Amino acid sequence: MGKENSRGIKKQCVFIGRFQPFHNGHLEVIKWILKQNLNLSIVIGSLQEYGTFKNPLKFFERKIILERVLKAEGIKGVEIFGLPDFKNDVAWGKKLGEIINKDPKETSVVTLNPWPAAAAKAAGFSGSEHPVFFDGLSATAVRDKIFKGEVWEDLVPPQVVSYLKETGGVEKIKVSQLPLDQRIAEFILKSMEQSKTRGAVLAVSGGIDSALVAAIAKKALGKKVNFVFLPFFKTCPFRKNVILLEESLKIRVRKIHLEKIMDDFVKLMPSGGNLVYGNLKPRIRMAVVYYLANLKKLLVLGTTNRSELEIGYFTKYGDGGVDIEPIADLYKTEVFELAKELKIPSDIIATAPTAALWPGQTDEKELGVTYFELDTVLKMINLGFEKKEILYLTGVKEAKLEKILARKIANAHKLVSPPKCILK
């Protein structure tokens, strides 16, 4: 075992935090550790999380802030690492040991967050307390003061103040503190007003995405939203979820069965396989929804989330054929989180995501990755990490990463307008 000082701190110590943003309390902890210990590593946790209520700043923004503060304080020799979240606490702890290149048995962990403390302990690290008194100071308190327009500059080092003001970080934090459903509801209302439509129409499926949009659309437009359920089978297994949605939101969902339209269409055409028929269904739905929209001059609401959008996991001119996409900036894992906050029925949340394009089809089965893995990879790509870094930091298998990258390339055409032949 490594040597310990009187407070149980070993000669190797790692300080873990989200630093959203870095504040004076964080700096005092670092100074105290350095007085006790000659070898300190800092790990910025939730590396892949950004743009949210708790994590408004990106990883590299937080890293730059830390570097500036340490330089201004004359602190040298402290390595700074980033660590993404894992579904498994033990896997997270193991990766922590790998990235800092330290033996858990020889390393103490200092953190202000109980989750990484517990995960680190499960991986064999020893936890250590510090004597720094915060008196209510936290990153949450800093963000709250920024949001309310109160004085916050005295809670953080000067370098944090200058960086946030120089880079637009203050406004970014202010916006991130507004409830997500409120921001989306305002977008829906503003879109309706700008388009001079009389309301909106939304096709609900019984899945979590359309349920979330339904809840927010009702909040935004009230009775001006027309809800419709368009199954291709009278025994559709998602019927119960639609009924749950009606009951929980106190809305009426119109049911229109499309099996006859599908059958008549197929009779007129050459036979096809799962993919051909699967893509035909959302295109028929799109035509029906726009028919209903045209009858009453309504705005068509989409339900595609950011995870699906970035890899083109939707049918071109099918579920991708809409007027606006209210949740297109929410990754699927964020959809789940917001759905829980808005108390969407648990049975809907627990239903395996699927477009129901053919029997037994589920999104994760077809994609070959879980949504947690997919979102982690997509976020890290957007943060600018290279393929090797993503593989190392996340533990995602190379074959899965290649599938994600291949989908992004193959479906890029879905995200742009059809090419035009320019003649002059």
pLDDT score at 48: 95
Does 355 score more than 70 pLDDT? no
pLDDT at 127: 81
Angle between helix 274-296 and 259-268 (nearest 10): 120
Note the pLDDT of residue 8: 55
pLDDT of 186 reads 98
Q: What is the pLDDT of residue 278?
A: 86
Q: In this model, does residue 83 exceed pLDDT 90?
A: yes
- Whether 115 shows a pLDDT value over 70: the answer reads yes
- Residue 285 pLDDT > 70: yes
Judgement on whether residues 222 and 112 belong to the same structural domain of the protein: no
């036979």: which residue's tokens?
Answer: 271
pLDDT of amino acid 132 = 73
Min mean pLDDT across 40-49, 115-124, 303-312, 406-415 is at 115-124
* pLDDT above 80: residue 82: yes
142 and 17 Cβ atoms separated by less than 8 Å? no
CA pair distance 298, 280, nearest whole angstrom: 23
pLDDT for the residue numbered 94: 92
Q: In what order do the strands lie in the sheet with 253-255?
A: 253-255, 225-229, 200-204, 299-300
Q: Which domain holds residue 202?
A: 180-367
Higher-confidence residue: 367 or 185? Answer: 185
**Is residue 1 in a domain?**
no
Q: What is the pLDDT of residue 112?
A: 83
Domain end, chosen from 141, 176, 211, is at: 176
Residues 351, 242 share a domain: yes
Question: Is 2 within the bounds of a domain?
Answer: no
Same domain, 140 and 233: no
Domain match, 279 and 189 both = yes
Q: Is the pLDDT of residue 263 over 50?
A: yes
Domain membership flag for residue 385: no
Q: Please give the pLDDT value at position 26.
A: 95
Same-domain pairing of 342 and 304: yes
Predicted local distance difference test score (pLDDT) of residue 3: 47
pLDDT at residue 2, rounded to an integer: 41
The residue-averaged pLDDT of 204-214 equals 96
Q: How confident is the model at residue 361 (pLDDT cuts 50, 70, 90)?
A: low
Residue 170 within a domain: yes
If asked whether residues 303 and 232 sit together in one domain, one would say yes
What percent of the chain lies above the pLDDT cut of 70?
95
- Cβ atoms 79, 42 nearer than 8 A: yes
Same domain for 339 and 359?
A: yes
Does residue 395 lie in a domain region? no
- The answer to whether position 270 is within a domain reads yes
pLDDT given for residue 249 in this prediction: 98
Q: Are the beta carbons of 327 and 209 closer than 8 angstroms? A: yes
| pLDDT: which is higher, 53 or 37 | 53
Assign residue 407 a region: left if phi > 0, alpha if psi is -120 to 50, beta otherwise?
alpha
Same domain, 260 and 325: yes
Q: Average pLDDT, whole number, for the chain?
A: 92
Asked if 201 and 217 count as a contact pair (C-beta separation under 8 A), the reply is no
> pLDDT at residue 299 above 50?
yes
349, containing H or E segment: helix 346-350
Q: What's residue 375's pLDDT?
A: 96
Q: Are 94 and 82 members of one domain?
A: yes
Whether 229 maps to a domain, the answer reads: yes
Residue 45 shares a structural domain with residue 168: yes
Same domain, 161 and 293: no
CA atoms within 13 A on the CB side of 76: 1
Q: How many domains does the chain have?
A: 2
Q: Are 344 and 215 in contact, with CB atoms under 8 Å apart? A: yes
Does 275 have pLDDT greater than 90?
no
Asked if the structure places residue 384 within a domain, the reply is no
The two structure tokens encoding residue 406 = 């291949």
Q: Are residues 307 and 361 in the same domain?
A: yes
Q: Give the pLDDT score at 402.
A: 95
If pLDDT is split at 50, 70 and 90, which confidence band does 389 have? very high
Quote the tokens at residue 298: 């309504």
Question: What pLDDT is recorded for position 328?
Answer: 97
Does the pLDDT of residue 341 top 50, yes or no?
yes
**Domain end position, chosen among 158, 176, 194:** 176
Over the stretch 5-39, which tens digit does the pLDDT of each residue have?
445 556 789 999 999 999 999 999 999 999 876 68
Q: Is residue 360's pLDDT more than 80?
A: no
Contact 371, 308 (CB under 8 A): no
Q: What is the pLDDT of residue 1?
A: 35
The residue out of 367, 384, 408 marking a domain boundary is 367
- CATH code of the domain covering residue 100: 3.40.50.620
- What local confidence, expressed as pLDDT, does residue 128 receive? 75
Beta bridge partners of 44: 17, 82
